[in-house]
Structure 1
């Protein structure tokens, strides 16, 4: 048993197989029944078919190599099921599940296994939606071990304890491989031995809606081994999910650190470009006109720090010249020593303040342009108001409310 558990551990650790969907008959699709007249006309052909089929079985008994020859390419574990599917009425997935549950209870008595009364695909979707494990139980009445395995292993108290413990988050879907849906599931899961149980769980590391087989329990095993393998498959799946979450958290942390570093680098570059732009703009400012210029405009600007800038401007000086003086006032003394500074490449400068007159209040936006003389007059006292995001939002709110 220890070797089998070790093999199960290594198998699960190597990776997971996708849990396939299967094509089934729609729930509400009616079963086709030919009209009575056609059924009567085809009765001779039906009798001939039954006679030939009986002869085939007779030849198969007399010459055992014939069935093996015809079924050489089929799954050995499903050959008996394939022969018997012709004797069972084809039903929709939900009705097939209800029949399986009814036949299971008739064969093995009352039990506490919460079989889902849904088709296989719907059970997969429910497990995916509810983030639970799905046990896929496939049995074949053709196999002699089935009845004893159900009685001694699947219905054993220690196995039922694992299945029914709500902390384990287990759903159970069962199927008889003599039915078409369960037969397709067995083929898709490449079942080679019965009875068979697969542990399926959502694996978001594969895709957003992927369901994968994280454990397989095949053949007759003891209740202890069954419960151990079931716990092992769950534990490894949970550990794998936690590891995935840790990897995603680490990746998110690294991405945020990289984004923060990029923001910091961008901010440092912006500051360097702004300093270079101020140096470049300061060296290109027009000289202050002398006292002999009668039409010169005299402006006094108070900064947020309380410091005042006093400067005379030519009467035709653009309003942006006044903004540039305020922006570059710290650079004006060094303008003579900072000649030859080029404009920073790719940098788009925006003034982060506006000039206003206190009483009566008037705003002189730089984007309006025009000369200082036309906008402000022969002189004036102005204030510097920083432009912030909060102020922009307040202005937008006032505009909407008005």
Structure 2
């Protein structure tokens, strides 16, 4: 601990601790100097620190790394007759710079001692003026009210919510509604809408909050359903910090109205009741889209705004808006800058001539400010709308181009997909065709092999199984019968058999008729193909080995022409045992469809035999 702190009395140490708590730490030497200059009055010391921007320890660390940015305003003093001291264009307003020189402590003590009678006299005069309801004269820039930043004591332990600019603005507007018995325009409109249509189709309360305006519930208005057209109205106030309000006025190219009050001034209550609730002023502000921002000087944001706008007495009203820069030369026009259009401070009574009276403000707006400022702002807003329209048009074009690109991409992808599917289908058909071709080749080879095998059996049957025709007068084979044959190709054949001849001989004879003429009989094999058994036993064994029915093995069937009756082959059965062949007959040879046996001959059934009879199907 420093030696100076150890030398302090207990009461002085307590005052030092309170001040350091307000400063969030801070340099003890600076705190001691400030306390000594105000005779160890913590309230006055805190006011002096915040007004003169005495840096705390945290501020000093920040100042070493981050440059301090000062907000600059131009002031339009064309309407400020005698309101400013020495007028000069492009004037800047900023916070009072911090004190750089260090005053010797004994001198501070002498000054503090001499100021005690003055403070007592000022307090007495203020008390008397307040009792008599006479406005206390202010001597700028040394106003006692400007030193009142925020009360000390238990409020030091409030959380961040209590110092949030939006919350502070909402509390101030709420207190304004309670004090005046009026309600903000948006709040009144929402209450009327909620009364006429309490709940919408989605089950939510109707009446959306107006951006930047007050949506607080007024406690002075009574029941919400009692709001009517005679309810006193307040303008909608911007809910946010002063810096946010200034940026909004700049980006939206709107006129801003700053209202700063101080409860230390007797003119403030009348200003709130008469000026802020005046119907003509409220309607004018609403019709021209003037953005309102207000606060009490005891709050940090309002105090900071009062320093930037150089407010000297309260109530204080200032109008700000974008205006062209005042630059010499004929080059390209510079960007507009935010300018203080006019400042009005003082009482609001009498209502016809007071600087902050509603009639004075309405007359000023209608006769001077709006005709001079509105065209420029409308041009800026029109340019902004045009830029927004161009951006929207470019965005729409980009969107249309993107949609067209996506459609083209989808069309290309769809065409590529169709080509890919077509290629797959073509390949599949080619593969199927190749498989069918291979199967056809295999089937053809199998058929050719079967035909060759059957041709061997036909020739074997012609040489072995087909018996010779009976000679005239031969009786060993029974009665001779004549059998006529109608081949599938229309040719006819006649053959004589004995009744004792087997059906195998008849079928072998018909089968031999399919042997080409280029294969003479003398070259026919005398033994069964594949070394099987001879005669009918070998034939039956071959049929069993081929796993084919007799009809499929022979490849044809014999049908009696009329009446139609099939002559079925049976081994070891003689022709005389077939009732239909007794005495001979006319037979039709019909080919049997077989997937395994496909010859060049096609199935053909004669529709008419040589005797003029039609065959039955």
Confirm or deny a common fold (TM above 0.5).
no
Larger CA Rg, structure 1 vs 2: 2
TM-score of the aligned structures, taking structure 2 as reference length = 0.28
TM-score of the aligned structures, taking structure 1 as reference length = 0.42
